[in-house]
Amino acid sequence: MRATILAAVPFLGGTVGYRVLEGVGWWDAFYMTVITITTVGFGEVFPLSMPGQLLTVLLLVAGLGIFFFLASEIGRSVMEGELRHYLGRVRRSRRMERMTGHEIVCGYGRMGRAVVEELRRAGRQVVVVDSRVDRTRPLAEAGVPAVTGDATLEATLLEANVRQARGLVSCVNDDAHNVYTVLTARALNPKLLIVGRATEDGAERRIRQAGADRVVNPYHLGGTRLAHLVVKPAIVSFFDATTAEASQQLDQTALGPQAPVVGRSVSEANIRQRWGLTVVAVQRGGDVVASPPSDYHLQAGDVLVVFGERSHIDAFDRDCG
């Protein structure tokens, strides 16, 4: 706005000045002003008196000044924008270098977007990896760490700090890319929990062989859910009611070595009375015990699936996690 006003003043002043000093028509006065300020060198449109020549000199100086001012403003805007973008990338890169125990989501399509939203709703730190700038830039501007690059490349996953990550979800649209992403991630971090997406028949086996801990076929999963809505609607309604937004939720806690329930049986741990939670299942290694009996002894490293109020789950996690 300021630059527009600054550029308009000499044109207006020159037009009025030539009109008053030389007594010419408005068009001739405007035309003379334009060729003077732009220094095109067409010559005088009409004979100039001494005051008219002085006005011409002033317009020439003003025209050069406006040109250099506008050029510097444009250059400054471009440089500031590039500098902000560069500093933002450096800041985000340093932030990712300091992150530990975060989740990496490779692919920010419709499924990747849903995964990120759910992870952030659960309070997880998330880094998004996608090859498209139009997907990663809005995320970065919104404060979500994002890396633009091919998730199958080591350099891209290292930039997302995969070696310090807790888990990785590979939900790129192409099964082959998911296989290579899982292979690369597993080689960089053998302890990483990896979940892969499969779409074609046989892809689940290949992604598991590449190193994924879990593989999800969204089409199979969606079909199963549709069938359950018809056959077992009450069960589906129950699980829908235990989402992160509900007051009653399902969650899991891995028991730490100092947890007060370690070494005790389920009845001795008294989890329902002390924390107001119901133990739905216990996972130990690759085995899952549903509705564990009262004499089932809990060990450090056991993962307890519990059901109850969110605040009670948080308290149990603080005491026993």
pLDDT digits (tens, 9 = 90+) for 64-82: 777 777 777 777 766 655 5
Question: For a pLDDT cut of 90, what percent of the chain falls above it?
Answer: 33
| Residue 100 and residue 127 in contact, taking contact as beta carbons nearer than 8 Å | no
CA–CA gap between residue 177 and residue 150 (Å, rounded): 9
Nearest to 162 by CA among 96, 235, 72: 96
Query: What confidence score (pLDDT) does residue 97 get?
Result: 77
Question: Is the CB of residue 301 less than 8 Å from the CB of residue 321?
Answer: no
> What's the whole-number average pLDDT of the chain?
84
The closest of 196, 202, 244 to 216, measured between CA atoms, is 196
54-79 residues labelled b (16+ CB within 10 A) or e (exposed): ebbeebeebbeebeeeeeeeeeeeee
Contact criterion met (CB below 8 Å) for 136 and 148: yes
CA distance 312 to 98: 31
With bands split at pLDDT 50, 70 and 90, how would you rate the model's confidence at 93?
Answer: low
Rounded Cα–Cα distance for residues 277 and 122 (Å): 19
Torsion sign, CA atoms 262, 263, 267, 268: negative
**Per mean pLDDT, which of 79-88, 130-139, 230-239 is the most reliable?**
130-139
Beta 248-254 vs 303-309: how paired, if at all?
Answer: antiparallel
Given the structure tokens 């991630």, which residue do they identify? 185
Q: Which of 192, 196, 33 is nearest to 115 (CA)?
A: 196
Region 111-129: mean pLDDT is: 90
Q: How confident is the model at residue 210 (pLDDT cuts 50, 70, 90)?
A: very high
Q: Classify 198 as helix, strand or coil.
A: coil
**Range list of β-strands (E), the chain:** 103-106, 126-130, 146-148, 167-170, 193-197, 214-216, 248-254, 278-284, 287-290, 303-309
Kindly report, residue by residue over 248-289, the tens digit of the pLDDT: 788 888 999 999 999 999 999 999 899 999 898 999 987 888
Rg (CA), the chain: 34
The pLDDT tens digits for 137-181 are: 888 778 888 999 999 999 999 999 999 999 999 999 889 999 999
State which H helix or E strand residue 311 sits in: helix 310-320
Least confident of 90-94, 164-168, 266-270, 300-304: 90-94
Q: Which two tokens stand for residue 57?
A: 């000199």
Residue 168: the pLDDT is 96
pLDDT of residue 74: 72
Could you tell me which residue, 150 or 16, shows the higher pLDDT? Answer: 150
Cross-strand bridge partners of residue 271:
none
Select from 318, 282, 288 the least CA-distant residue to 300. Answer: 282
Q: Which two tokens stand for residue 47?
A: 């004979």
* DSSP letter assigned to residue 149: S
Q: Which two tokens stand for residue 235?
A: 């069960």
**Structural domains for the chain:** 2-90 (1.10.287.70), 100-223 (3.40.50.720), 247-320 (3.30.70.1450)
